[in-house]
């Protein structure tokens, strides 16, 4: 969370996904921009200043093509000239310094940010208000369902989630029951860690965010399908089907409603398989065919 450092009337707001240097709101005619930085901006930045806040400003200027030098944390003449050019391109007076409040620090960018309740168009601000809220690290994902629904969700189920154009998969890492009797499933990424991984910054900075989710109890399987009765087993338990060309070893990827989805070398759509009878008998015209599933 960043704090507003300006006073005046808020003339516009632009919450949402922002890159470094993006404007999130404007007080009077002064835009407030987000900059990737771990520490908050706490002073005016002008010639002679030194520190990590200067490094963050210089990195912004380098990214924008205004500063052709290393971000060394030393606000000298070259940095002052770069700030002046940056300001003039924005249509602002080229003072060469950055007043407190014009920049707010966000730990990770790009990110989806929101503005504080006091930052509304037409509102009067005097400094000290909550200004910008953004994600600060990993986000915890939970799936809350009724007790009846929880009984239908096996431990090996996955949860497909989406937010805007981002898609994530979560797995169940644990569960508990809340005060209302609902079951709360804790979700992690398949390999552990936060479900959103390195894309957590794209979520809004709200304390709680709702994302679209779908529980996948049985993963969707696609491939060549044959009647389940056509799948036979060897003595060692491995599967095979009998085709016009003889026996073909297969792996059953999934089955249901009398159909099996199989994988095997040489299997192609339209190939006839023997459903019943002696496997030594190669099917003729009356055999069944494989199909897409």
* Cβ proximity of 97 and 47 under 8 Å: yes
Instruction: Say whether pLDDT at 221 is over 90.
Output: no
More confident site: 30 or 235: 30
Cα separation, 162 vs 169, in Å, equals: 9
The reply to whether 264 and 237 lie within a common domain is: yes
Angle, vertex CA 199, rays to CA 194 and CA 203, nearest 5: 90
The reply to whether 54 and 22 lie within a common domain is: yes
Question: Which of the listed residues 75, 103, 133 is the one where a domain comes to its end?
Answer: 133
The reply to whether 53 and 75 lie within a common domain is: yes
pLDDT tens digits, residue range 162-214?
988 889 999 999 999 998 899 999 999 998 888 998 888 778 766 678 899 99
The reply to whether 152 and 70 lie within a common domain is: no
The reply to whether 22 and 145 lie within a common domain is: no
Question: Which of the listed residues 133, 160, 186 is the one where a domain comes to its end?
Answer: 133
Cα separation, 171 vs 216, in Å, equals: 10
Q: How many Cβ atoms from other residues are within 10 Å of residue 85's Cβ? A: 16
Q: What is the pLDDT of residue 285?
A: 44
The reply to whether 122 and 150 lie within a common domain is: no
More confident site: 26 or 268: 26
Cβ neighbours for 49, distance < 8 A, ≥ 6 positions apart: 43, 75
Which of these, 210, 139, 199, lies nearest to 165 by C-alpha position?
A: 199
The reply to whether 181 and 277 lie within a common domain is: no
The reply to whether 84 and 34 lie within a common domain is: yes
* Cβ proximity of 21 and 59 under 8 Å: no
The reply to whether 157 and 43 lie within a common domain is: no
* Cβ proximity of 74 and 81 under 8 Å: no
Instruction: Say whether pLDDT at 286 is over 70.
Output: no
Average pLDDT over residues 213-232: 84
The total domain count for the chain is 3
The reply to whether 72 and 40 lie within a common domain is: yes
Portion of the chain with pLDDT greater than 90, in percent: 50
The domain that holds 45 is classified in CATH as 1.10.101.10
CA–chain centroid gap for 260, Å, is: 35
Instruction: Say whether pLDDT at 218 is over 70.
Output: no
Give me the domain span that covers residue 19: 2-133
More confident site: 200 or 218: 200
pTM (2 decimals)? 0.54
The reply to whether 151 and 124 lie within a common domain is: no
Cα separation, 232 vs 45, in Å, equals: 77
Whether the ω angle into residue 110 lies within 30 degrees of 0, i.e. cis, is: yes
Question: Which of the listed residues 103, 133, 163 is the one where a domain comes to its end?
Answer: 133
pLDDT tens digits, residue range 51-102?
999 999 999 999 999 999 999 999 999 999 999 999 999 888 999 999 999 9
The reply to whether 59 and 96 lie within a common domain is: yes
Residue 225 tokens read as 């399908």
Cα separation, 239 vs 253, in Å, equals: 11
* Cβ proximity of 207 and 134 under 8 Å: no
């Amino acid at each position: 969370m960043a704090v507003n450092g300006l006073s005046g009337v808020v003339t516009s707001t632009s919450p949402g996904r922002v890159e470094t240097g993006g404007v999130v709101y404007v007080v009077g005619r002064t835009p407030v921009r987000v900059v990737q930085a771990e520490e908050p901006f706490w002073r005016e930045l002008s010639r002679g200043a030194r520190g990590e806040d200067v490094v963050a400003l210089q990195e912004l200027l380098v990214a924008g093509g205004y500063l052709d030098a290393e971000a060394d944390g030393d606000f000298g003449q070259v940095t002052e000239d770069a700030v002046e050019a940056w300001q003039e391109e924005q249509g602002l007076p080229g003072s060469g310094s950055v007043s407190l409040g014009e920049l707010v620090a966000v730990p990770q960018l790009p990110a989806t940010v929101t503005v504080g309740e006091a930052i509304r168009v037409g509102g009067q601000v005097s400094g000290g208000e909550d200004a910008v809220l953004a994600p600060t690290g990993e986000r915890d994902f939970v799936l809350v369902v009724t007790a009846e629904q929880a009984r239908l969700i096996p431990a090996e189920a996955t949860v497909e989630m989406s937010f805007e154009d981002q898609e994530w998969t979560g797995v169940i890492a644990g569960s508990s029951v809340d005060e209302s009797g609902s079951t709360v499933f804790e979700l992690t990424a398949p390999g552990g860690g936060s479900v959103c991984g390195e894309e957590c910054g794209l979520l809004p900075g709200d304390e709680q965010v709702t994302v679209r989710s779908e529980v996948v109890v049985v993963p969707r399987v696609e491939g060549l399908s044959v009647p389940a009765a056509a799948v036979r087993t060897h003595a060692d338990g491995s599967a095979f089907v009998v085709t016009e060309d003889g026996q073909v070893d297969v792996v059953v990827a999934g089955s249901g409603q009398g159909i099996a989805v199989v994988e095997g070398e040489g299997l192609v759509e339209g190939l006839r398989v023997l459903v019943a009878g002696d496997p030594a008998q190669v099917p003729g015209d009356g055999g069944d065919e494989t199909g897409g599933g």
